[in-house]
């Protein structure tokens, strides 16, 4: 992917929230046919990542609509990462979906974006999706409940104490520029309002899950636990034996695109 392809389309900005919680959210909306693609990125990632750009390029080739955006504190959006919570990012995801999506959509969520996709589906079922509908979910190394199941429950007593007393802990990172990133008490505590894995998850649409068996961040057992909480009909879990967490290799991208194309072929009816 060339720099011009990645950066040729400037973002549109929308305001989400009111008063002191208002933040500018950067959105790239490609017009096209349905079913459209709606991208939900991961924790501390942005819409110019390898998978997001590959999906947008594929959508362009197919003449299909594609919506990408950055959560607050991520990429080109406003706000500070340290202020982020699951509820805050879900509010932004819902606002972008309702404002930009028309007709059936395939929601593709990577890592934390997988959790967001499931929460978005639940929100749409509760309060309606406006002019859009869910054609299906494609979840890549999905990490529902990660703040509790994959972070808090695995933290040492020392790290937990630091979060509880100081309100934040700087977690080392092997991604991006390698700089540590903050895990806040607010992120952990507010995340408990959105836990999904304790009961059945009704999404009302087909689901495809792609999981790397060598994923060091989201164990494959987590994907199995999720699959067991979803309805039995039209849920497919694909285990990629040599896959890591990113699933950004050419063969991984091909699998992701194949899942999107299978779940909602071009010209599919709402």
Is 178 among the domain residues? no
Active-site residue identified among 46, 56, 245, 252: 245
Integer Cα distance of 164 and 112 in angstroms: 23
Is 237 among the domain residues? yes
Q: What is the mean pLDDT of residues 193-222?
A: 96
Is 180 among the domain residues? no
3-class SS at 65?
A: strand
3-class SS at 153?
A: helix
Active site residue 74: no
Max Cα distance, the chain (Å): 54
Active site residue 228: no
The tens digit of pLDDT for each residue in 54-92 reads: 999 999 999 999 999 999 999 999 999 999 999 999 999
Predicted structure pTM score: 0.94
Is 149 among the domain residues? no
What is the predicted pLDDT for the residue at 173?
Answer: 80
Active-site residue identified among 111, 194, 222, 252: 111
What is the predicted pLDDT for the residue at 4?
Answer: 34
Tell me the residue range of the domain where 10 lies: 3-144+202-263
The tens digit of pLDDT for each residue in 149-158 reads: 999 999 999 9
What is the predicted pLDDT for the residue at 176?
Answer: 64
Mean pLDDT, the chain, whole residue set: 93
Is 60 among the domain residues? yes
Both tokens assigned to 134 = 């869910």
We report the CATH number of the domain holding residue 122 as 3.40.50.1820
What is the predicted pLDDT for the residue at 155?
Answer: 97
The tens digit of pLDDT for each residue in 114-142 reads: 999 999 999 998 887 678 999 999 999 99
Q: What is the mean pLDDT of residues 33-46?
A: 96
Active site residue 222: no
Q: Comparing C-alpha atoms, which of 191, 232, 160 is closest to residue 43?
A: 191
Structural domains of the chain, count = 1
Active-site residue identified among 215, 217, 222, 252: 215
| pLDDT at position 265 over 80 | no
């Amino acid at each position: 992917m060339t720099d011009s392809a990645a950066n040729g389309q400037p973002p549109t900005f929308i305001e989400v929230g009111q008063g002191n919680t208002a933040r500018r959210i950067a959105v790239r909306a490609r017009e096209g046919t349905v079913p459209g693609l709606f991208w939900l990125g991961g924790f501390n990632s942005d819409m110019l990542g390898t998978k997001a750009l590959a999906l947008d390029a594929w959508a362009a080739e197919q003449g299909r609509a594609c919506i990408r955006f950055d959560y607050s504190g991520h990429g080109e959006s406003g706000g500070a990462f340290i202020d982020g919570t699951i509820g805050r990012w879900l509010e932004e995801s819902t606002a972008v979906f309702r404002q930009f999506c028309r007709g059936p959509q395939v929601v593709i969520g990577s890592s934390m974006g997988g959790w967001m996709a499931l929460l978005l589906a639940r929100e749409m079922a509760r309060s309606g999706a406006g002019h859009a509908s869910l054609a299906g979910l494609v979840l890549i190394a999905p990490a529902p409940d990660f703040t509790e199941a994959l972070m808090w429950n695995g933290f040492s007593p020392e790290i937990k104490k630091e979060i509880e007393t100081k309100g934040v802990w700087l977690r080392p990172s092997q991604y991006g520029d390698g700089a540590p990133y903050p895990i806040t008490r607010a992120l952990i505590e507010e995340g408990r309002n959105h836990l999904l894995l304790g009961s059945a998850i009704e999404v009302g649409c087909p689901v495809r899950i792609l999981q790397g068996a060598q994923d060091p961040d989201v164990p494959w057992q987590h994907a199995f636990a999720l699959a067991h909480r979803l309805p039995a009909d039209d849920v497919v879990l694909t285990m990629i034996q040599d896959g890591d967490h990113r699933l950004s290799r050419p063969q991984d991208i091909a699998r992701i695109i194949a899942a999107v194309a299978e779940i909602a072929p071009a010209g599919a009816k709402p």
